[in-house]
């Protein structure tokens, strides 16, 4: 079969709803796009541990500390699931990690914002994980088997992240005036960056059509953003939080919330390395990798020693 026939057959499989597996034939661009998307997704999970890790030692109670530790550990696990899925496409995890540490790989722009108060841990769980769930629920039905399966596992775990964040904010909103102000300030800072997580508007997203045709994506960025807004606004109202958008209003005709204009200039600035924390995040990742080197060395030495013993015996 020539390239064209193979591509036709590939598209037929996708249209029938079949899963593409690692060893199946796939167009080179499909492979490349998935490596790019999955790599960025895995990096986001790993870098995503940093803003939250910032508050582990300062969590306000033992309960909150246990929860936050478990959540951050989950994020590490999510990174591993996705790295592992990406490796099936012919790139090694060490290469991906190297690209991240070299500052050559992208990750979600949201993690370049600082966590200034405890309420930010609530905002991340509720808004950032909430947005991630909307994205990932859809990705769990995508065409590439290893990616979809990783998403199923992640979505199950992400629900606790989402709810614990909301609980933090709900608790603060029942507290003192100062605590309520802290929660509101946090939402003022995180709302718009959370909306940016869905990526640029479809008319500015050059890859969208191709990714939709391949069922790598199943809905457009704008559709998913709208879905997130529609389900999040009532949750905010429920605990008395005001979302920082004067144009946010229920549209009876559309049966959706209308919302204001997103500052895409800010989004591109952050993506291109000029966010508040871009440099710190990379520095922290490199430091963690360097300071973990002795652990990896020790594990290697131990493995060599055990292998030697087996041969001697």
Partner 1 sequence: MLMHVKKQVKQLQRKSFNDQYHFIMKNDNWPLWEVFTQKRSGLPFEHAGNVHAPDKELALMNARDVYSRRNEATCIWVVPSDAITSSTPEDMGPFFEPSNDKIYRHPNFYKTPGATFE
Q: DSSP 3-state assignment of 199?
A: coil
Window 88 to 127, contacts with partner 1 (CB under 8 A)? 92-94, 97-98, 101-102
Would you say 25 or 250 has its CB closer to partner 1?
Answer: 25
Q: Cβ(192)–Cβ(185) under 8 Å?
A: no
Would you say 156 or 249 has its CB closer to partner 1?
Answer: 156
| Residue from 159, 204, 303, 308 in contact with partner 1 (CB under 8 A) | 303
Q: With the C-alpha atoms ordered 78, 79, 84, 87, is the resulting torsion angle positive or negative?
A: positive
β partners of residue 250: 257
| Residue from 10, 30, 55, 81 in contact with partner 1 (CB under 8 A) | 81
Window 276 to 295, contacts with partner 1 (CB under 8 A)? 286, 289-290, 293
Q: Does 145 sit near partner 1 (CB under 8 A)?
A: no
| Residue from 52, 74, 75, 120 in contact with partner 1 (CB under 8 A) | 74
Minimum CB distance to partner 1, residue 202 (Å): 33
Q: Does 6 sit near partner 1 (CB under 8 A)?
A: no
Minimum CB distance to partner 1, residue 80 (Å): 5
The residues, ordered by sequence, that sit 6+ positions from 88 with a Cβ below 8 Å of its Cβ are 22, 146
Would you say 36 or 286 has its CB closer to partner 1?
Answer: 286
Q: Does 84 sit near partner 1 (CB under 8 A)?
A: yes
Would you say 15 or 24 has its CB closer to partner 1?
Answer: 24
- Which residue, among 98, 128, 125, 123, has the nearest Cα to 110 in the 3D structure? 128
The residues, ordered by sequence, that sit 6+ positions from 61 with a Cβ below 8 Å of its Cβ are none
- Residue 176, token pair as written in the block: 């003192």
Give the residue carrying structure tokens 């144009």: 247
β partners of residue 249: 258
**Piece of the chain touching partner 1 by CB under 8 A; list 75-83, 170-178, 196-204, 251-259:** 75-83
| Residue from 6, 116, 181, 299 in contact with partner 1 (CB under 8 A) | 299
| Residue from 87, 120, 129, 158 in contact with partner 1 (CB under 8 A) | 87
Would you say 65 or 289 has its CB closer to partner 1?
Answer: 289
Would you say 231 or 305 has its CB closer to partner 1?
Answer: 305
Q: Does 16 sit near partner 1 (CB under 8 A)?
A: no
CA distances from 61 to 126, 175, 288 (A): 19, 15, 26
Would you say 85 or 125 has its CB closer to partner 1?
Answer: 85
How far apart, in whole angstroms, are the C-alpha atoms of residue 37 and residue 213?
16
Window 146 to 165, contacts with partner 1 (CB under 8 A)? 149-150, 157
Based on the number of CB atoms within 10 Å of its own CB, is 286 exposed (0-12), middle (13-18) or buried (19 or more)? middle
Q: Does 25 sit near partner 1 (CB under 8 A)?
A: yes
- Which residue, among 243, 157, 249, 163, has the nearest Cα to 195 in the 3D structure? 243
How far apart, in whole angstroms, are the C-alpha atoms of residue 180 and residue 119?
9
Which parts of the chain fold into alpha helices (H)? 3-15, 28-47, 49-53, 62-87, 93-101, 119-123, 129-139, 145-173, 177-196, 208-213, 221-238, 264-269, 278-291, 293-312
Would you say 177 or 313 has its CB closer to partner 1?
Answer: 313
Q: Does 66 sit near partner 1 (CB under 8 A)?
A: no
Contacting residues toward partner 1, per CB under 8 A: 21, 23-25, 70, 73-74, 77, 80-81, 84, 87, 92-94, 97-98, 101-102, 149-150, 157, 286, 289-290, 293, 296-297, 299-300, 302-303, 306-307
């Amino acid at each position: 079969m020539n390239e064209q026939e193979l591509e036709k057959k590939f598209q037929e499989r996708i249209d029938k709803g079949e899963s593409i597996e690692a060893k199946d034939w796939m167009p080179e661009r499909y492979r490349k796009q998935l490596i790019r998307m999955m790599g960025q997704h895995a990096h986001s999970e790993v870098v995503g541990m940093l803003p939250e890790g910032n508050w582990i030692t300062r969590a306000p109670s033992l309960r909150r500390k246990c929860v936050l530790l478990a959540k951050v550990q989950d994020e590490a696990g999510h990174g591993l699931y996705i790295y592992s899925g990406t490796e099936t496409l012919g790139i090694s995890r060490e290469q991906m990690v190297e690209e991240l540490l070299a500052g050559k790989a992208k990750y979600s722009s949201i993690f370049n914002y600082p966590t200034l108060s405890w309420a930010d841990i609530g905002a991340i769980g509720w808004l950032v994980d909430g947005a991630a769930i909307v994205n990932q629920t859809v990705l769990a039905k995508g065409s590439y088997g290893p990616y979809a399966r990783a998403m199923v596992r992640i979505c199950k775990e992400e629900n606790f992240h989402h709810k614990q964040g909301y609980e933090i904010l709900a608790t603060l909103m029942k507290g003192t005036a100062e605590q309520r102000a802290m929660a509101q300030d946090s939402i003022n800072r995180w709302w718009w960056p959370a909306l940016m997580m869905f990526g640029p508007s479809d008319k500015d997203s050059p890859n969208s059509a191709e990714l939709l045709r391949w069922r790598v994506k199943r809905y457009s960025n704008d559709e998913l953003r709208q879905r997130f807004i529609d389900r999040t606004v009532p949750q905010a109202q429920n605990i008395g939080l005001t979302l920082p958008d004067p144009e946010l209003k229920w549209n009876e005709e559309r049966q959706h919330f209308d919302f204001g204009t997103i500052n895409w200039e800010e989004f591109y600035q952050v993506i291109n390395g000029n966010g508040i924390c871009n440099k710190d995040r990379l520095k922290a990742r490199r430091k963690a990798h360097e300071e973990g080197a002795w652990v990896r060395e020790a594990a290697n030495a131990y493995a060599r020693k055990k292998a030697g013993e087996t041969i001697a015996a």
